[in-house]
Amino acid sequence: MLFDILTIFPGMFASPLREGIIRRAIEQGRITVNLHNIRDFATDKHRMTDDRPFGGGEGMVMKPEPLVAALGSVRKQGGPGRVILLSPRGRTYNQRTAGRLAGYERLLLVCGRYEGVDERVRRCCIDEEISLGDYILTGGEIGAMVIVDSVTRLLPGVLGCGDSARNDTFSRGMLKHPQYTRPRVFEGMEIPEVLLSGDHAEIEKYRFLESVRETLKRRPELLAQVSFTAGERKLLEKSGLMTEVAEALNVHGG
């Protein structure tokens, strides 16, 4: 998969791209990440990429000329791709969106800055806008890195450990079950006996129910997006959790 990142601060990506799973994915050729400095496409002697907004107001706005020129140049270097602007105006990013983006062969990530980009750039060149959440960052670089990270780990062969990505938190809309490792007893606290039983069917049932319990306790609104199988519903009824799940769905519109 190809990621093209358009930014005025390419140096911000140096460390994240050289560590962990992302580094290995690049070395294995599973992803390619190209950084493009928008300033290289500014035509004035100061390489300005921003200017004051018409009508007055605080802050600066990213100019259309260098940004559109950068996008035009980058598009010519590869096949068609989806152009995404990282912006507070975008839809909130989640695991479902990450899964959808993983289906593209190429993503062009435009890192917004200042008070945003000239509206004409949005109209002519942007396919969609994405926001990390309801808060303001200094720019879209961190958001772009989040997309690279979250999408890359969903690509075939990147994690190299079976169903790891499929079983992640949010993969089904629920939080993940609690995890335990050695030692078996820590400060008087023992791990659940079922995890030592070797009975994988029982372990899966236990983990499913614990996942539901964690979601009910911490993020009950997530359950409105979950579709339970008939077998799972029987487990919920047997454990006494179905009443709590139904109440959560009632409250949160499921």
Per-residue model confidence as pLDDT tens digits over 168-199: 666 678 999 999 999 999 999 999 999 999 99
Residues 132 and 237 placed together within one structural domain of the fold: no
pLDDT in tens, 196-225: 999 999 999 999 999 999 999 999 999 998
Q: Quick check: 167 pLDDT over 60?
A: no
> Which is the catalytic residue, given 40, 115, 149, 232?
115
pLDDT (tens digit per residue) in 36-51: 999 999 999 899 999 9
**Domain match, 15 and 126 both:** yes
88 tagged catalytic: yes
Catalytic site residue from 39, 65, 82, 88 = 88
Residue 138 binned pLDDT confidence (cut-offs 50, 70, 90): very high
Which among 65, 168, 221, 244 is annotated as catalytic?
168
Q: Name the pLDDT band for 58 (thresholds 50, 70, 90).
A: confident
Annotated catalytic residue within 50, 66, 153, 207: 153
Q: Is residue 110 part of a domain?
A: yes
Tell me, yes or no, whether 126 and 197 share the same domain: no
User: What is the count of structural domains for the chain?
Assistant: 2
Are 52 and 43 in contact by the 8 Å Cβ rule? The answer is no
Domain of residue 189, CATH code:
1.10.1270.20
- Using CA atoms, how far residue 4 sits from 68, 86, 94, 148, 228, in Å, is 14, 13, 21, 10, 38
For 193-216, b/e burial (b = at least 16 CB within 10 A) is: eebeeeeeeebebbbbbbbbbbbb
CATH classification at residue 105 = 3.40.1280.10
Domain boundary among 152, 177, 205: 152
In a domain, 167, yes or no: no
Q: What is the pLDDT of residue 78?
A: 81
